[in-house]
């Protein structure tokens, strides 16, 4: 009796060891098809396009001295038509549902902390184009519970992933610049000419300027920069040789609400 | 023990009712429910011969590929998909998929309707007939 139990345990132990070692050997064997996935070759991969512009931290300098009302209007139109931004005011006269990526405002609204007591007449009424500042320390990203809005580590652009947005609007409350708009209604009926190369949005998501990430990916400048006639300069803030950095080295530029510590990437020469 | 007939009759009725969906489909619904629709290819798609992956793989995994595409394009900014055969494609539903498969109703919808799948791609993304 004693002897046979001992023998049973021995055989059982050896068999378990054998099965374990065997399956391990199969897993380690070269040419194992399990790890390679469905295809026979290396499998698909993803890259950047050949013309894609590369930058460490995209930024913009806006020279308000060179800007006229008409140029601002042109910039708004170019941006909004390319990105299928709905025009709820023009179509349905619904001011509450307005959606904007870039728009012109006055100095006192753009820079409320400046406390300039005797502002020149010219500056007081000059249009100041405002848009998402693509902050280096974006409060909207911290507020987003689903990581639908995020700062792209490769180039510093603060982007929206509309697939993930659940429409909670925390980011709108967090953004100190009011750069974000919410789709309270289906945007499609309010789009004049749909651009087939760019998706529209749906009801219930937040949207904002994306620094034309889709244009940078094919080597084009942002739409507003293209039509600004030289008033908007775009480039890599991390590159001391870039146009924006050269301009910032020569001129005194301010940013919106710098005391909040968001480190905007959009600079203004006033 | 004298209710044998009643019990058997009851059992027969019970199983008839229980198996209703099966025999109903066999007799009446055979024509449209049991045969899966075959997605129609456009001439352009036929000419290309291969999609971004093999046909069988596309048939079962296209949703995973699209899901990967949207994450990698939107979040990593990598907009070029290098297929297993080394060919490069722009990773875009509206611009790449719908370029060949421009017949959304016959290609996408035929199967999606059959399997009662309702993808929300088209809430935002456009397809050819729509923008015409």
DSSP type of residue A99 = -
Residue of chain B nearest A41, judged by CA positions: B84
pLDDT band at B27 (very low <50, low <70, confident <90, very high): confident
CB contact under 8 A, A39 and B84: yes
Instruction: Provide the residue-wise pLDDT of chain A in tens; the chain has 270 residues.
Output: 567 888 999 999 999 999 999 888 888 876 554 444 444 456 788 988 888 888 899 999 999 999 999 999 999 999 999 999 999 998 899 899 999 999 999 998 999 887 778 888 888 889 999 999 999 999 999 999 999 999 999 999 999 999 999 999 999 999 999 999 999 999 999 998 889 889 999 999 999 999 999 999 999 999 999 999 999 999 999 999 999 999 999 999 999 999 999 999 999 998
Q: What per-residue confidence (pLDDT) applies to A35?
A: 46
Report how many domains make up chain A: 1
User: What's the CATH code of the domain at A206?
Assistant: 3.30.70.20
Residue of chain B nearest A203, judged by CA positions: B123
Q: What residues of B are in contact with residue A46 (Cβ under 8 Å)?
A: 72, 76, 78, 80-82, 91
Q: How far is residue B107's CA from residue B17's CA, in Å, rounded to a whole number?
A: 37
Q: Is A156 helix (H, G, I), strand (E, B) or coil?
A: coil
Q: Residue A259's domain spans which residues?
A: 58-269
Residue A23, domain member (yes or no): no
Q: Is B97 on the interface with A (CB under 8 A)?
A: no
Domain boundaries, chain B: 1-35, 38-131
pLDDT band at B30 (very low <50, low <70, confident <90, very high): low
Nearest Cα of chain A lies from the Cα of B21 at a distance, in angstroms, of: 36
Of B84, B85, B93, B96, which to mutate for an interface test with A (greatest number of A Cβ within 10 Å)? B84
pTM, two decimal places: 0.78
Residue of chain B nearest A192, judged by CA positions: B131
C-alpha to C-alpha distances, B40 to A175, B43, B109, B126, nearest whole angstrom: 48, 10, 11, 20
Nearest Cα of chain B lies from the Cα of A134 at a distance, in angstroms, of: 15
Q: How far is residue B26's CA from residue B22's CA, in Å, rounded to a whole number?
A: 6
Residue A77, domain member (yes or no): yes
> If you write DSSP's letter for every residue of B39-51 in order, what string do you get?
PPPPHHHHHH---
A196: nearest CB among B77, B78, B131: B131
Q: How far is residue A230's CA from residue A26's CA, in Å, rounded to a whole number?
A: 65
Q: Is B126 on the interface with A (CB under 8 A)?
A: yes
Contact by Cβ (8 Å): A100, A181: yes
As a whole number, the mean pLDDT across chain B is 87
Q: Is the ipTM of this complex over 0.90?
A: no
Q: What per-residue confidence (pLDDT) applies to A1?
A: 57
């Amino acid at each position: 009796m004693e002897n046979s139990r001992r023998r049973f345990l021995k055989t059982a132990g050896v068999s378990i060891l054998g099965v374990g070692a065997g399956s391990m050997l199969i897993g380690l064997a070269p040419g194992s098809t399990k790890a390679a996935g469905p295809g026979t070759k290396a499998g698909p991969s993803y890259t950047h396009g050949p013309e894609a512009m590369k930058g460490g931290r995209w930024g913009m300098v806006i020279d308000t001295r060179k800007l006229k009302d008409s140029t601002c209007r042109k910039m708004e139109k170019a941006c909004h038509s390319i990105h299928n931004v709905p025009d709820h005011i023009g179509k349905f006269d619904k001011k509450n549902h307005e959606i904007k990526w870039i728009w012109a405002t006055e100095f006192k609204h753009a820079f409320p902390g400046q406390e300039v007591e005797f502002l020149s007449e010219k500056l007081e009424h000059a249009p100041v184009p405002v848009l998402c500042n693509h902050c280096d320390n974006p409060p909207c990203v911290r507020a987003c519970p689903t990581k639908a809005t995020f700062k792209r580590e490769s180039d510093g652009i603060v982007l929206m992933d509309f697939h993930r947005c659940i429409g909670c609007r925390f980011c709108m409350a967090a953004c100190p610049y009011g750069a974000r708009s919410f789709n309270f209604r289906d945007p499609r009926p309010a789009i004049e000419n749909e651009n087939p190369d760019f998706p529209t949005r749906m009801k219930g998501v937040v949207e904002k300027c994306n620094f034309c990430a889709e244009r940078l990916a094919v080597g084009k400048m942002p739409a507003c920069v293209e039509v600004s006639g030289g008033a908007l300069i775009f480039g890599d803030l991390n590159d001391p040789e870039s146009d924006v950095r050269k301009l910032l080295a020569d001129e005194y530029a301010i940013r919106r609400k710098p005391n909040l510590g968001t480190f905007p990437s959009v600079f203004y020469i006033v | 023990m004298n209710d044998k007939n009643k019990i058997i009759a009851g059992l027969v009725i019970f199983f008839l009712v229980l198996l209703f969906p099966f025999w109903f489909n066999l007799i009446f619904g055979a024509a449209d429910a049991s045969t899966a629709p075959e997605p129609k290819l456009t001439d352009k798609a036929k000419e290309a011969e291969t999609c971004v992956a093999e046909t069988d793989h596309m048939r079962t995994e296209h949703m995973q590929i699209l899901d990967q595409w949207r994450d990698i394009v939107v979040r990593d900014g990598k907009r070029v998909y290098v297929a297993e055969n080394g060919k490069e494609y722009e990773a875009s539903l509206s611009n790449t998929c719908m370029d060949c498969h421009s017949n959304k109703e016959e290609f996408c919808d035929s199967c999606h309707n059959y399997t009662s799948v309702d993808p929300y791609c088209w809430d935002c993304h456009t397809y050819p007939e729509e923008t015409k």
